[in-house]
Chain A
Amino acid sequence: MLELSGITQIFGGVTALDAVSFSIAKGDITGVIGPNGAGKTTLFNIISGIYKQTAGTVLLEGKNVSGFSPERLARHAMVRTFQNIELFGGMTVQENVMVGMHTKSSSGLLACALRMPWSSAEERRIREGAVKWLEFTGILDLAEHAAGSLPFGKGRLLEIARALAALPRLILMDEPAAGLNSQETVALAQLIKRIRDLGITVVLVEHDMELVMDICDRIVVLNLGRKLAEGTPREIQECPEVIAAYLGDDD
Chain B
Amino acid sequence: MAKPIRSGSDLMKRNLLLFAGFSLLVMLAPQFFRGGYLMNVLVFVGINTMLAIALNLLLGYAGQISLGHAGFFGLGAYLSGIMTTTFSMNPWEAMPVAALVVGCLAYLIGFPVLKLKGHYLAMATLGLGIIFFIIFNETYEWTGGPSGLSGIPNLQLGSIVFDTDVKNYYLIWGVTLAVMLFSMNLAQSRVGRALRAVHDSEIAAQVLGVNARHLKVQIFALSAIICSLAGSLYAHTMTFISPTTFGFNFSIELLTMVVIGGLGSIYGSFLGAALLTLLPEFLRGANDYDIIVYGGLLVIMVMYMPGGLVRGIPALFRKIVKREAESGNA
Contact = CB atoms under 8 A, between A and B. Distances in A.
Given A102-B209, A109-B218, A70 B203 contact: yes
B193 interface: yes
A74 B208 contact: yes
A74 B189 contact: no
- Counting chain A CB atoms within 10 Å of each CB, the highest count among B186, B190, B211 belongs to B190
B13 interface: no
A79 B208 contact: yes
A199 to B, nearest CB: 20
Interface stretch (A16-24, A122-130, A202-210): A122-130
Nearest to A142: B3
B273 interface: no
Contact of A113 (B186, B193, B211): B186
Contact of A112 (B7, B8, B185, B208): B185
Contacts of B218: 109
B82 interface: no
Given A89-B200, A123-B190, A48 B207 contact: yes
Nearest to A115: B185
A141 B1 CA distance: 9
A162 B208 contact: yes
A166 B185 contact: no
Contacts of A48: 207
B203 A102 contact: no
Contacts of A75: 209
B190 A90 contact: no
Interface in A183-215: none
Interface stretch (A80-88, A218-226, A243-251): A80-88
A13 to B, nearest CB: 26
A90 B208 CA distance: 17
Contact of A143 (B5, B194, B201): B5
B244 interface: no
Interface in B193-212: 193-194, 196-197, 199-201, 203-212
A137 interface: no
Contacts of B91: none
B222 interface: yes
B200 A91 contact: yes
A69 interface: yes
B2 A141 contact: yes
A119 B6 CA distance: 20
Contact of A50 (B190, B203, B210): B203
A41 interface: no
B190 A87 contact: no
B183 interface: yes
A71 interface: yes
- Counting chain A CB atoms within 10 Å of each CB, the highest count among B197, B209, B219 belongs to B209
B289 interface: no
B182 interface: yes
Contact of B207 (A80, A90, A143): A80
A82 to B, nearest CB: 7
B190 A100 contact: no
B190 A112 contact: yes
B208 A163 contact: yes
A108 interface: yes
Given A109-B186, A109-B222, A91 B193 contact: yes
A215 B6 CA distance: 37
Interface string A100-119: 11110101110011110001
Given A50-B203, A89-B201, A114-B182, 7 more contacts: A71-B210, A94-B5, A108-B191, A109-B222, A122-B190, A127-B8, A144-B3
Top 9 closest pairs, chain A to chain B, by CB: A74-B209, A112-B189, A103-B209, A86-B204, A88-B200, A141-B2, A113-B186, A70-B206, A86-B201
Interface of B: 2-3, 5-9, 182-183, 185-186, 189-194, 196-197, 199-201, 203-212, 218-219, 222, 264
14 contacts: A74-B208, A75-B209, A87-B200, A90-B200, A91-B197, A91-B200, A99-B194, A99-B205, A99-B210, A109-B219, A112-B191, A112-B192, A126-B190, A140-B2
Interface of A: 48, 50, 69-71, 74-75, 79-80, 82, 86-91, 94-95, 98-103, 105, 107-109, 112-115, 119, 122-124, 126-127, 131, 140-141, 143-144, 162-163, 166
